[in-house]
Structure formats: structure tokens, C-alpha cells
Amino acid sequence: MRSVSGHIPEEEIRKFRELKEGLWEIQKFDSGPFEEAEALPLICPDFEMSSDQIKFTEALDLPFKTFLYRAESALNFNGIHGQILRALLVRVKSRKSIKPHKDVTFPDLNCKMWRMQVYRSNEEDFLKVDNLKFSPIPGILYEIPRGSVISEENTGLNDNIHLLLYFKE
């Protein structure tokens, strides 16, 4: 699995851990593999959100712009150039999970999925990509190969928070 190193300062990680509960309610999944997870859209196609939701996320501007700039810069520095099509901050609370699934987002585009752990509740292996189970190191972007079966189980006492980037090269 290809990875790219990036740096997230501790003060930025703290900002993401201290987000208000109401922010995580912007996008709810009532069923499917993400039904126990919460997502905060940072960049998304306009048709996916109502105008109220878009205005709400634009108000969050500065810390997220800096965070996404760091992630995109890390990819560019490693020779991976393109455009972010979608970015989601995903929270998996303690004792919750993301069920095994194949991500089929943007199936008609040459789009790569990158995942960066922002905060992890413990160092036990909790992310599974196909047959590889590991505990992602915060601040490292991992490319998730298209067609992989992905799952996550948070056995820790705190929330796990990660960034999903859909990147068109």
C-alpha cells in the first residue's frame, strides 16, 4: 500500500477532537457500512448537500483549509498531482464500526482514494484493507486501492477520526 508522509501539528489535531457535536450531524448515514460513523464534508459536489449545509460548512473555513492544504501539499511533494473531488472528515466513536464494504465513489473517473488518520484512540489494529489489518499512523496518507474491501472497528475508549480524500490525478 502506497503512503505519503504529512505532518499534522498537535494544535490542529486538538481542533478536530474538540469539534461540537452538532457539526458531526451534518451528514448522517441511516444504513449501510457507515451507519455507525459520522461524516463532516469538507469538499463535495454541490448536488450532494442542501444550500443550508453548504453555508454551514463554509463557516468552518480556516482550520479545514489549512488541513486540506497540508494533505494536498504532501501528495504534490511526492509527485502526485491532481484535484480533490471530495474530502470527508469521518468519526467512528468508541465501540462503533464501519462495516466491510467496497468504496464505489466516482466509478467512472480515474480517482484514487487516500486516507489519513487524524486521531486514533489506541494503537491496536483497527483498520482492515482486504487482508491487511493495521493501526494507521496519524498524519500519513495511505492510498486505498480501488476495489479493496475496507472496514474499521474502534475498540478504544475515544473517537477515531480520519480524513478521506477522493483525488483525481
pLDDT of residue 159: 92
With the C-alpha atoms ordered 55, 59, 63, 65, is the resulting torsion angle positive or negative? positive
The domain total for the chain is: 1
> pLDDT tens-digit profile of 127-165?
999 999 999 999 999 999 999 999 999 999 999 999 999
Residue 168 belongs to a domain: no
Residue 115 belongs to a domain: yes
Name beta bridge partners: 102: 149
Q: Which has more pLDDT, 66 or 127? A: 127
Residue 125 belongs to a domain: yes
For the purposes of burial, counting CB atoms within 10 Å of the CB of 136, is it exposed (0-12), middle (13-18) or buried (19 or more)? buried
> pLDDT tens-digit profile of 74-129?
999 999 998 888 888 899 999 999 999 999 888 888 889 999 999 999 999 999 99
pLDDT of residue 108: 82
| Dihedral of the alpha carbons of 6, 46, 32, 140, in degrees to the nearest 10 | 0
pLDDT of residue 61: 52
In this structure, how many other beta carbons lie within 10 angstroms of the beta carbon of residue 67? 22
Domain containing 39: what range? Answer: 5-148+155-160
Contact present, 84 and 115 (Cβ < 8 Å) = no
pLDDT of residue 63: 67
Residue 165 belongs to a domain: no
**10-14, 58-62, 78-82: least confident range:** 58-62
Residue 95 belongs to a domain: yes
Residue 98 belongs to a domain: yes
pLDDT of residue 163: 92
Q: Which residue has the cell 503512503?
A: 3
Pairing of strands 160-168, 83-92: antiparallel
Alpha-carbon distance of 17 to 25, in angstroms, equals 15
Residue 167 belongs to a domain: no
Residue 169 belongs to a domain: no
Q: Which has more pLDDT, 136 or 14? A: 136
What is the value of pTM for the model shown? Answer: 0.85
